[in-house]
Structure 1
Amino acid sequence: MADHDFTGHLIVFVGTPGSGKGVLREYVREVFPQLHFAVSCTTRTRRPGEIDGKDYFFITKEEFQKRIDEGAFLEWIEQDGGNMYGTLKSEILEPLARGEVVVREVEVRGVEAIRNIVPAENRTIIFIEADTWDILQRRIQERAPISPEELEKRRERYERERLFMPSADIVVHNYDGKLDDAQRELKDAIAGILEKVVQ
C-alpha cells in the first residue's frame, strides 16, 4: 500500500500495440487542457513530428540507466526491441500531491508498479480495445518501418496484453474507421471521472 497522501487522480491509458493510445491521449489533451499530461522518458529514436519534452523526454540508454540507479522512475520497462520507456516519479507523484488530475499512457507491464504506489481511489485504468491483429499490424506498419522480427514480437505482445482488459476499470473501443466513436466514449468516461474527483 502507498504511504503517500494524494488528493489528485491518475488516469492511465493502456492497450495493445497499435490500439491508438497516443492518438486518443492527444484528443483528450485538446478536450481537457486543464489536465496534467505526464511525459515519459524513452531511449527510442524520435519519430517525425515528435517533440522532446512534449511527446517524450528522449534520452540515451546511459542517462536512462543512471535514472534507474537513482530510483527516479515510478515504472520502467525495456521493450522487445531494446528500447526503454519509463515514467519519472516527479511527473506523477508531485502533481497528484498537488491535487491535479494526471493523464499517463503506459504499457500493460507498467501498470502493476503504478497500482503498488497509487491507491485505487486515486487512479482509473482505461484499456483501449482495438481491432484484430491483422488491422493493428497494418496500423503499426503505416506508422514507421518495422522488421519482421519486431512485428512478430509486437504480435506476441498483442496476445499477452489483451489478457489485461478484464482488469481495467474502463474499456474504450477504438475500432478501425470508428475513431469518432472512441473519442466520444473516452470523453464521456473522463467527464464522469472528473465529476467524481474534482470538487
Structure 2
Amino acid sequence: MTKEGKLIIFSAPSGAGKTTIVHHLLKKVPGLEFSISATTRAPRGDEVHGKDYYFISKEEFLHRIAKKHFVEFEEVYSGTFYGTLREEIERIWQQGKSVIFDIDVEGGLHLKRKYDGQALAIFVQPPSLEVLKERLAGRGTDSEEKLAERFVKAEKELNYAPQFDIILKNHDLQTACAEAEELVKHFLSQK
C-alpha cells in the first residue's frame, strides 16, 4: 500500500497564470512533483506526451473511466476530457513527494473534497476578465470559436473562487509566484 502524502492544487480559468506559477514552484520548492493529467485533446505547440499530459484517445479515456482509474475527470469542453489517474498520484507518493496539480476549477474542487485534510487548494485569480481575455487572445493558440468558449467558461469559473482554501490574486506574476511559494512551503511544513 502506498504511503499517502500531500496535494497542492492550483486551479484557475485558462489564462490566469496557474501554469506559470506551478512551473515556478517546481523549480523553487523541493519535494514537489507535477501530476500529469490525461486528456483526449491533441497536443498544442511543443507539448510532450508523458511530460505535459498523457494524450489518449476518447475511447481509451472512456474505458479508463469505466475501470475507475481516475480520481477525478471531466468533460471540460464538448468532447474533450481531462482527468487525474489514481496511479499518477500513487507514483508520486511512492517517491516520497507531494503532488502539485495544474487543474481546471471543477477538477480542483473535486480533488479538494476527496483529499480534504491532505490538500491545499489555491485559486489563481486574474486581475480582471478583460485582462484574462487579452492573455488568452495573445497566446495565439486558439481559434476565435475556441476563445469564445474559453471566455464563457472563465466567467463561470470565477464564481467558484470562494470554495478554495486560498484566493491568490495574480496582478503581478512575480509577486504571485513569491506568495505561492510561501503558501506552499508553509503547508508542506505542517504535519
Structure 1 residue 102, shift from structure 2 partner: 1.1
Where do 5+ consecutive residues of structure 1 fail to align?
none
Q: For each residue in 1:19-67, what CA deviation from the matched residue of structure 2 results, as whole angstroms up to 9, or x when unmatched?
A: 1111111111111242121111111121222221111111111221111
TM-score, normalised with respect to structure 2: 0.89
Change over 3 Å in CA distance of 1:6–1:112 after alignment to 2: farther
Matched, 1:152 2:164: no
Equivalent positions of 1:2-151 (< 5 A) are: 7-93=4-90, 95-96=92-93, 100-118=97-115, 120-151=116-147
**Percent of paired sites with the same residue:** 32
Matched, 1:167 2:153: no
Q: Which moved more, 1:93-102 or 1:36-45?
A: 93-102
Structure 1 residue 111, shift from structure 2 partner: 3.0
Q: Say what the alpha-carbon RMSD is for the aligned residues.
A: 2.1
Aligned length: 191
Match of 2:179 in 1: 185
Q: Which residue identity lines up with residue 52 of structure 1 in the other structure?
A: H
Change over 3 Å in CA distance of 1:12–1:81 after alignment to 2: same
Structure 1 residue 115, shift from structure 2 partner: 3.5
Q: For each residue in 1:92-134, what CA deviation from the matched residue of structure 2 results, as whole angstroms up to 9, or x when unmatched?
A: 245447753111122111134324431x221110110112222
Q: Which residue identity lines up with residue 108 of structure 1 in the other structure?
A: V
Give, in whole Å, the separation in 1 of the partners of 2:78 and 2:140.
14
Give, in whole Å, the separation in 2 of the partners of 1:137 and 1:97.
40
